Amino acid sequence: MTDQVTPEASVPGAPEAKPTSASRTTLSHIMTGSDTNLLGTVHGGVIMKLVDDAAGAVAGRHSGGPAVTASMDEMVFLEPVRVGDLVHVKAQVNWTGRSSMEVGVRVMAERWNESTPATQVGSAYLVFAAVDADGKPRPVPPVVPETERDKRRYQEAQIRRTHRLARRRAIKELREKRAAEGFQD
């Protein structure tokens, strides 16, 4: 892993770098009875869809076009969300590669009729791939972290990427080894 937190020098023909603030967004939604699970709280899948929607908007804004969800890491539910909660899904690009982007998402909730501060109820990291009209990967602009928090998030995203690639490689090697041993999984 590198300690560098700013993108490499511009490559001719590559998209121009963008600051984290250029595509940051918040999606807000009030939770209703149709969002509940069997326990009477908001279904995790409803929250996950809001997370994916907000992250997708950020990825599309940053990349300047279509981007598809490639993976979701570490979807964490910290507190239950209830009917009547106003949920705010805050998303930003944390890191960019050649055609991929990690988007960090923080989920906040507050009662719709109270003036108490919102509390964090969840978080997630998603990887998006920018695609062209044929569905092929296309280059994305480098992201430029602006604040110390952005720099920390950029560095943490590099760690998560290293772990994703190592995990993928280890699983591939295990499957190849098992196939060579005659196992048909």
Under 8 Å between Cβ of 56 and 109: no
pLDDT of residue 8: 45
Vertex 20: Cα angle to 160 and 12 (nearest 5): 90
* Residue-level pLDDT at 15: 80
Looking at residue 132, what is its pLDDT? 96
Mean pLDDT of 87-107: 98
Q: How confident is the model at residue 7 (pLDDT cuts 50, 70, 90)?
A: very low
Structure tokens at 2: 């590198």
Q: What is the pLDDT of residue 9?
A: 44
Q: Which helix (H) or strand (E) holds 25?
A: strand 25-30
For residue 128, the surrounding DSSP H or E stretch is strand 119-130
Q: Where does residue 150 rank: exposed (0-12), middle (13-18), buried (19+ CB within 10 A)?
A: buried
